[in-house]
């Protein structure tokens, strides 16, 4: 079944290419608007017939027919024709941040630039800065985006990496029933550039032929490792073949980062890698015990003090998904969410078994996301009051995701801010400040007496947008001084704050809130990604804001 997001993406690209080729401006605008509408729909458009589709605002007969074609064939002949007329390199230009269709048209049709490499050369030569409508600032931005794109090639976010890994595993398990997943997927890496598997063999003569969809890189493969990729997919795949006696050791080695393997045992005087290569074990637990350590799970094997952590803290104290009692950064149809306040709250209560749900829709400055004006806030609060009577003892908390303005202020007057149970302060615009200005901006927001949580502090989108520069020591120190909670935005698109900064947060006594930033009921499940990376940083249940009971949260908010 084709998803709403896929249909939306097809229509959006059709809109862009119609504009690029100077075709039917009105249809291009309509498809662009409708793609956004479809992406926000709660129900699957796949289950609607043409008549029902036409009842959706903005969708006429022509567009409904196109949607039916996508549902039936998985593609759109109109788009296929446009793509055939567009050089492949020009399509790549749409990946560059900061340039829209009109600028891409100028690059291609006026400057003759039809691929990313030519664009880079033109920027380096200063040609783009001298082109009307661009300028020095745009040229610099394009160059930065090109560097970022190149660095992210062949990578996937952890959620998409896991999906692809599961797909590959489902094929390989028929060939090698004992195969296990290792590497970055097992290590819960936030970004994946290789899928790794281990196959135990009685001897190396037991290797079998892989299905035809696997393309081997013969130059990189060896008798002990198959390397290659799936047909049509650039993600690198490695399958390590090991003897059964080395299976346990290999599972630890291939799921660990280098720093973990270099840790030296005080008792043995050996590093972990050398120790593992010289012995066989019945289990990973036994291997760590004989090395003189408590067992360390795969996601903690990062070389950042995890041996000391498990010695002093104990694994049972680290946060788990089951420890979460609520969620506090979420959106509803009041702003840009796909599900209603009731639907989001009841999902938390009935499906996730949580004790509280915090609504933090966008604030009034976020007009692009249906930000809430004061009159709408009052309406939402009235609905919350009624739902709390109905759903109690489960409780909906009245929050807001308030935009941090360029000067560090929040975008409501204090008379309104004081009425919220809590405020998530986040930056959504003005992302091009230097480190000093960006840091001062956030510190001012942190010092606002109504700020409860600092939301997705860097604004990064993994593999898509770098976070803006910040002096995190100053930011975390400011949170500590003002009793402000740091968000770990659990959306796999963000995973922001970076887990490597969690130890300093804990050192300064700053609590972490694992927030899904959910815009749908399915998005609430993103907290599992947040938990995975939070554990990498050594986050404990005691220091997790939304692992607190409702009574503890309410007490915290009264003091804040």
Per-residue pLDDT reduced to its tens digit, 434-456: 999 999 999 999 999 999 999 99
What's the confidence (pLDDT) of residue 262? 97
Tell me the C-alpha distance between 163 and 340, whole Å.
Answer: 28
Alpha helices in 106-189 (DSSP H): 116-124, 136-152, 158-172, 183-186
What's the confidence (pLDDT) of residue 205? 81
Q: Which helix (H) or strand (E) holds 444?
A: helix 435-447
> Angle at CA 377, nearest 5°, toward 329 and 453?
30
How do the domains of the chain map onto residue ranges? Answer: 1-86, 96-153, 162-312, 321-559
Q: Is the pLDDT of residue 559 over 80?
A: no
* Length of the chain as a residue count: 560
First-last CA distance in the chain: 47
42-51, 293-302, 369-378, 492-501: range with lowest mean pLDDT: 42-51
Percent of the chain whose pLDDT exceeds 70 = 100
Q: Are the C-beta atoms of residues 251 and 282 closer than 8 Å to each other? A: no
Instruction: Tell me the backbone φ, ψ of residue 362, rounded to 5 degrees.
Output: -65, 150
Tell me the C-alpha distance between 505 and 314, whole Å.
Answer: 19
* Crossing angle between the packed helical segments 4-20 and 25-39, to the nearest 10 degrees: 160
Q: Are the C-beta atoms of residues 223 and 204 closer than 8 Å to each other? A: yes
What's the confidence (pLDDT) of residue 364? 94
Confidence of residue 465 (pLDDT cuts 50, 70, 90): confident
What's the confidence (pLDDT) of residue 424? 98
What's the confidence (pLDDT) of residue 43? 75
Tell me the C-alpha distance between 176 and 321, whole Å.
Answer: 31
Closest to 15 measured CA to CA, from 58, 56, 45, 53: 58
Asked if the 162-312 domain carries CATH number 3.40.190.10, the reply is no
Asked if the 321-559 domain carries CATH number 3.20.20.140, the reply is yes
Percent of the chain whose pLDDT exceeds 90 = 72
For residues 306-331, average pLDDT: 93
129-133, 340-344, 490-494: range with lowest mean pLDDT: 129-133
Q: Which helix (H) or strand (E) holds 426?
A: strand 422-426
| 328-357 as b/e: b if 16+ CB within 10 A | bbbbbbbbbbbbebbbbbbbbbeebebbbb
pLDDT in tens, 101-159: 999 999 999 898 988 888 988 888 888 988 988 989 899 889 888 888 777 778 899 99
For residues 542-555, average pLDDT: 97
pLDDT in tens, 402-414: 999 999 999 999 9
For the chain, helix, strand, coil in percent to 5 are: 50, 15, 40
For residues 93-100, average pLDDT: 87
Q: Which helix (H) or strand (E) holds 195?
A: strand 194-201
Tell me the C-alpha distance between 184 and 241, whole Å.
Answer: 17
Answer yes or no: same fold for 96-153 and 162-312: no
Asked if the 1-86 domain carries CATH number 1.10.150.110, the reply is yes
Confidence of residue 457 (pLDDT cuts 50, 70, 90): very high
Tell me the C-alpha distance between 147 and 429, whole Å.
Answer: 22
What's the confidence (pLDDT) of residue 430? 83
Structure pTM?
Answer: 0.81
Peptide bond into 393 cis (omega under 30): yes
pLDDT in tens, 381-404: 999 999 999 999 999 999 999 999
Instruction: Tell me the backbone φ, ψ of residue 308, rounded to 5 degrees.
Output: -70, -35
Tell me the C-alpha distance between 287 and 277, whole Å.
Answer: 11
Q: Are the C-beta atoms of residues 435 and 471 closer than 8 Å to each other? A: yes
For residues 212-237, average pLDDT: 93
What's the confidence (pLDDT) of residue 41? 77
Q: What are the angstrom distances between the C-alpha of 219 and each of 67, 223, 225, 281?
A: 45, 12, 11, 33
Who has greater pLDDT, 118 or 228? 228
pLDDT in tens, 243-283: 999 999 999 999 999 999 999 999 899 999 999 997 899 99
Q: What is the mean pLDDT of the chain?
A: 93
31-45, 240-254, 347-361, 367-381: range with lowest mean pLDDT: 31-45
Q: Is the pLDDT of residue 51 over 90?
A: no
Under DSSP, is residue 171 helix (H, G, I), strand (E, B) or coil?
helix
| 166-176 as b/e: b if 16+ CB within 10 A | eebbeebeeeb
User: 10 Å Cβ neighbour count for 244?
Assistant: 12
Confidence of residue 524 (pLDDT cuts 50, 70, 90): very high
What's the confidence (pLDDT) of residue 536? 95
Tell me the C-alpha distance between 324 and 316, whole Å.
Answer: 14
> Angle at CA 296, nearest 5°, toward 295 and 298?
130
Closest to 7 measured CA to CA, from 84, 95, 55, 66: 66
Query: What sign has the CA pseudo-torsion 428, 434, 436, 437?
Result: negative
**CB-count exposure of residue 152 (10 Å: 0-12, 13-18, 19+):** middle
Q: Which CATH class is domain 96-153?
A: mainly alpha
349-352 contacts, C-beta under 8 A, 24 or more apart: 349/391, 349/394, 351/521, 352/524
What's the confidence (pLDDT) of residue 201? 94
DSSP string, 479-501: HHHTTPEEEEE--TTT-BS-GGG
What's the confidence (pLDDT) of residue 46? 85
Q: What are the angstrom distances between the C-alpha of 228 and each of 32, 150, 183, 210, 238?
A: 38, 20, 15, 11, 7
């Amino acid at each position: 079944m084709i998803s709403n997001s896929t249909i939306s993406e097809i229509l959006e690209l059709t809109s862009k290419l119609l504009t690029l080729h100077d075709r039917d401006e009105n249809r291009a605008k309509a498809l662009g608007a409708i793609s956004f509408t479809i992406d926000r729909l709660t129900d699957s458009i796949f289950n609607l017939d043409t008549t029902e589709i036409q009842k959706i605002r903005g969708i006429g007969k022509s567009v409904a027919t196109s949607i039916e074609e996508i549902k039936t064939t998985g593609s759109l002949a109109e788009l296929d024709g446009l793509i055939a007329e567009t050089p492949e390199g020009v399509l790549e230009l749409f990946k560059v941040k900061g340039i829209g269709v009109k600028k891409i048209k100028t690059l291609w049709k006026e400057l003759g630039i039809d691929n990313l490499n030519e664009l880079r050369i033109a920027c380096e030569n200063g040609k783009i800065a001298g082109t009307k409508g661009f300028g020095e600032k745009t040229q610099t931005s394009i160059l930065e985006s090109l560097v970022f794109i190149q660095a992210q090639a062949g990578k996937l976010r952890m959620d998409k990496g896991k999906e692809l890994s599961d797909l590959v595993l489902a094929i390989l398990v028929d060939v090698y029933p004992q195969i296990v997943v290792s590497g970055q997927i097992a290590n819960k890496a936030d970004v994946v550039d290789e899928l790794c598997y281990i196959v135990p063999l009685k001897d190396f003569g037991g290797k079998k032929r892989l299905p035809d969809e696997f393309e081997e890189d013969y130059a990189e493969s060896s008798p002990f490792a198959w390397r290659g990729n799936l047909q049509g997919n650039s993600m690198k795949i490695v399958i390590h073949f090991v003897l059964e006696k080395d299976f346990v050791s290999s599972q630890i080695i291939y799921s660990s980062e280098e720093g973990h393997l270099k840790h030296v045992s005080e008792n043995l005087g050996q590093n972990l890698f050398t120790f593992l290569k010289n012995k066989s074990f019945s289990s990973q637990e036994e291997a760590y015990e004989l090395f003189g350590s408590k067992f360390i799970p795969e996601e903690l094997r990062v070389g950042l003090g995890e041996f000391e952590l498990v010695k002093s803290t104990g694994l049972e104290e680290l946060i788990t998904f089951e420890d979460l009692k609520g969620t506090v950064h979420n959106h509803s149809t009041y702003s840009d969410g796909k599900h209603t306040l009731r639907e989001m709250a009841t999902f938390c209560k009935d499906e996730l078994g949580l004790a509280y749900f915090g609504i933090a829709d966008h604030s009034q400055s976020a007009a692009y996301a249906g930000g809430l004006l004061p009159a709408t806030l009052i309406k939402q609060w009235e609905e919350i009051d009624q739902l709390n009577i109905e759903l109690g003892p489960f409780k909906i908390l009245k929050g807001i995701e308030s935009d941090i303005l360029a000067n560090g202020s929040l975008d409501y007057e204090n008379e309104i801010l004081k009425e919220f149970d809590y405020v998530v302060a986040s930056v959504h615009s003005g992302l091009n400040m230097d480190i000093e200005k960006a840091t001062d901006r956030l510190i001012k927001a942190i010092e606002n007496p109504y700020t409860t949580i600092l939301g997705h502090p860097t604004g990064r989108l993994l593999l898509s947008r770098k976070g803006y520069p910040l002096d995190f020591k100053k930011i975390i120190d400011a949170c500590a001084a003002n009793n402000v909670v740091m968000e770990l935005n659990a959306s796999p698109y963000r995973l922001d704050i970076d887990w490597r900064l969690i130890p300093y947060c804990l050192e300064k006594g700053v609590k972490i809130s694992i927030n899904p930033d959910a815009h749908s009921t399915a998005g609430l499940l993103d907290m599992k990604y947040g938990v995975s990376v939070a554990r990498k940083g050594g986050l404990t249940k005691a220091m997790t804001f939304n692992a607190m009971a409702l009574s503890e949260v309410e007490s915290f908010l009264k003091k804040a």
